[in-house]
Structure 1
Amino acid sequence: MTTFHQIIGTALFAMTLATSPALADDPIEGRTAQQEQASFAADRADILAMAGNYKVTFDMQETTAWHADYEPIKAKISGGHESVHVIEDTGRKIVLQHLLVVGSDEDPFIVKHWRQDWEYEPEQILAYAGPNTWVLKDVPERLRKGRWSQTVYQVDDSPRYAGWGQWTTTNGVRRWRSNWTQRPLARRDATRNPVYDRYSAINRHQPMPGGWIHWQDNTKMGLVEGKLVPIVQESVLNTYRKFDGYPVAAADRYWEQTQGYWKAVRDEWDAALARTGGISIEEEAETGTVISGRLLEMGTRIAKGEMSESAAIAEARNLIRTGTSDGLAKTAQVTKAGDGY
């Protein structure tokens, strides 16, 4: 005989199923073709809106120590000026190149900064797999529909990290939220020789009035007795506000003079990836990789008329070919993306 408590329990369970929200990594379902197209167009508009000229603020704070012996470092706020160019747009792929402008108005200096590639419904991403190693990972087929990947590259166009996620609107605010991603340490941490050696993070990109923000929820991970464990939590808020009161023309001129060189550099990294199914290159605290400094220097010399583009491209190709390892041929084959939301 069914008891009163069994009846109530069954009813409550049914109510839970009916009212529970869908999981964040559930497939996107129930949209018409017209809704799909409208969503795709809105996503593209938000990505393309990140291009422009900006005053940038970097607000970094370690918040919670997960390891008893660790003392969080003091919060740090810094900033600068960045020009963000759209250097490729094929519809389903958008590439944004960041250029950092430093120095005085009379003598500006351009640093080729990070790059972000956005791809719609990607089959794979090039993900960080630990020191010196990036591998291709499958994006589960059921989760590709309606979603974008973001792959971030270092100043020398070597890979840095990648994630995938959906653009959504919550409380009237648009945002893209990644899955959990692994990242190598940024210069601000790597140069301190910390006890952690990577980040496990969720990234958000959100348009805002007059610009956009990039918010990072970073768990800094380190090896303790041979096991990867959380050391400290960090919150990073990078704010990009539209601003052109800096030598924007210098950034535009640098890119006009060096874009052919950097296109060849990107192509060579792609060739290295195609050879082995991954990228293996030695990391370096100051510049990201052991060849980064020279690749950046050659870009500067081209812009100053001190080196020919052809000579720089030849040297860059050799640096990438000799600096990357073919040892990934066996170990960096396509792996399953077990990273959920």
Structure 2
Amino acid sequence: MKKILYLAALLVTFQTTLTSAQSKLDQDRKAILSLGGFYKVTFDYGETFSPDTAYKNHVQYHASGYEWAVVEQESPKKIVIQHILVTGDTSVIKHWREDWVYEEPNVLSFDKSSSWNKTKLSAADTKGRWVQKVFQVDDGPRYESIGTWVHVDGRHEWHSECDSPLPRREFTKRSDYNVLRRGNRIYLTDKGWMFEQDNQKIIRSADGDKLLVREKGYEEFTKADEAKFAYAQKWWKTQQPYWTAVRQVWDEIYAQPGTLKLKGKVDGKLLYERLFELADQSAKGKWDVVKNKDAARKVIADYVEKAV
């Protein structure tokens, strides 16, 4: 009888643990899915402290716009959100993309000079955690980091830290540092969500890392009227098949082991410029998926310097 009661207690404990884990996963997914929608976005960044007393903080950065975060793919353990930036009534730009993957064992870690290394995570490191994979406007790599969604006292938030290339707001303007170490915090608000950052601008060399200056950042997403995005929704419908094919090509590259290194300009053009041109041609010519993939694969191959 004691053995039966012991086994019954074990079964109850197992079922309770399983239910709790499933409930937590459902909460995580609900929080991530709520990042999708129609938003007014403000971008605010300011440098705060440098160990070099002679360093002069750069001018604070402020910008704003409208952004549609489209949930492109949803499965139990993966959610893909594509951001579409709206800068005018008929002015639309395919912006950044974020893939959320549950208990993902592999991440791309930024090194420097457009180079990323594949890192294998242990089962203990990934258990119950989500990797956020952030991609450039051309769906090339930007940064990937892992963290745990926390749901407590009515708050829903996620934290992580990782290295990344310079942000676009400084990529063509500065050369005094080469790595941005991001301290990421995403949390839901009653009006949308906030992407808060505590960043370090790093000079990375063979001698190691040297801190240039710290930075505080806020990207606030406030829910906006869907009517503002009518043109963007029509535009994305014509562009979506092409960019789905582009993602599939990149997935082939990301599946390769080792280091991924990308070139800058080829024949005077950046990768996103050439892919955007193809996207417009595809939208007008109604290419099929095979032709989209073939065209994208040929262009992207010109920029992959190393993938071994």
Q: Which range, TM-score by smaller chain?
A: 0.7 to 0.9
Q: CA deviation at 1:300?
A: 3.5
What SS does structure 2 have at the residue aligned with 1:130? Answer: coil
Write the deviation string for residues 24-66 of structure 1: whole angstroms up to 9, x where unpaired.
xxxxxxx811111111000000000011100001011111113
Aligned position for 2:10: none
Q: Is the 1:220–1:232 contact (alpha carbons within 8 Å) kept by the matching residues of 2? A: yes
Aligned position for 2:8: none
Aligned position for 1:96: 81
Counterpart selection for 1:216 from 172, 186, 197: 197
Aligned position for 1:152: 134
Aligned position for 1:337: none
Does residue 35 (structure 1) correspond to residue 17 (structure 2)? The answer is no
Aligned position for 2:143: 161
Does residue 193 (structure 1) correspond to residue 151 (structure 2)? The answer is no
Instruction: Classify 1:245/1:122 alpha carbon distance in 2 versus 1 (closer, same or farther; 3 Å).
Output: closer
Counterpart selection for 1:232 from 213, 219, 222: 213
What SS does structure 2 have at the residue aligned with 1:309? Answer: coil
Equivalent-residue separation in structure 1 for 2:220 and 2:262 (angstroms): 31
Aligned counterparts, 1:273-288, within 5 A: 273-283=254-264
Q: Is the 2:264–2:303 contact (alpha carbons within 8 Å) kept by the matching residues of 1? A: no
Q: Is the 2:202–2:213 contact (alpha carbons within 8 Å) kept by the matching residues of 1? A: yes
Which residue identity lines up with residue 211 of structure 1 in the other structure? G
Does residue 315 (structure 1) correspond to residue 295 (structure 2)? The answer is yes
Counterpart selection for 1:51 from 36, 46, 67: 36
Instruction: Classify 1:278/1:254 alpha carbon distance in 2 versus 1 (closer, same or farther; 3 Å).
Output: farther
Aligned position for 1:335: none
Equivalent-residue separation in structure 1 for 2:51 and 2:122 (angstroms): 31
What SS does structure 1 have at the residue aligned with 2:231? Answer: helix
Equivalent-residue separation in structure 2 for 1:275 and 1:173 (angstroms): 38
Q: Is the 1:54–1:83 contact (alpha carbons within 8 Å) kept by the matching residues of 2? A: yes
Instruction: Classify 1:219/1:328 alpha carbon distance in 2 versus 1 (closer, same or farther; 3 Å).
Output: same
Structure 1 unaligned blocks of 5 or more: 1-30, 330-341
Aligned position for 1:334: none
Aligned position for 1:9: none
**Alignment coverage as a number of residue pairs:** 288
| TM-score, scaled to structure 1 | 0.79
| TM-score, scaled to structure 2 | 0.87
Q: CA deviation at 1:223?
A: 4.1
Which residue identity lines up with residue 81 of structure 1 in the other structure? Y
Does residue 84 (structure 1) correspond to residue 64 (structure 2)? The answer is no
Aligned position for 2:239: 258
What SS does structure 2 have at the residue aligned with 1:50? Answer: coil
Instruction: Classify 1:245/1:328 alpha carbon distance in 2 versus 1 (closer, same or farther; 3 Å).
Output: closer
What SS does structure 1 have at the residue aligned with 2:247? Answer: helix
Which residue identity lines up with residue 78 of structure 2 in the other structure? K
Write the deviation string for residues 85-133 of structure 1: whole angstroms up to 9, x where unpaired.
1111111000000000112x2xx12110000000111111122122111
Q: Which has the higher contact order (CA 8 A, sep 6+)?
A: 1
What SS does structure 1 have at the residue aligned with 2:302? Answer: helix
What SS does structure 1 have at the residue aligned with 2:30? Answer: helix
What SS does structure 1 have at the residue aligned with 2:175? Answer: coil
Which residue identity lines up with residue 141 of structure 1 in the other structure? A
Q: What root-mean-square deviation, in Å, do the aligned CA atoms of Structure 1 and Structure 2 show?
A: 2.0
Which residue identity lines up with residue 190 of structure 1 in the other structure? F
Q: CA deviation at 1:246?
A: 5.7
Does residue 143 (structure 1) correspond to residue 125 (structure 2)? The answer is yes
Equivalent-residue separation in structure 2 for 1:211 and 1:126 (angstroms): 29
Equivalent-residue separation in structure 2 for 1:118 and 1:237 (angstroms): 21
Which residue identity lines up with residue 70 of structure 2 in the other structure? H
Q: Is the 1:81–1:246 contact (alpha carbons within 8 Å) kept by the matching residues of 2? A: no
Q: Is the 1:61–1:75 contact (alpha carbons within 8 Å) kept by the matching residues of 2? A: yes
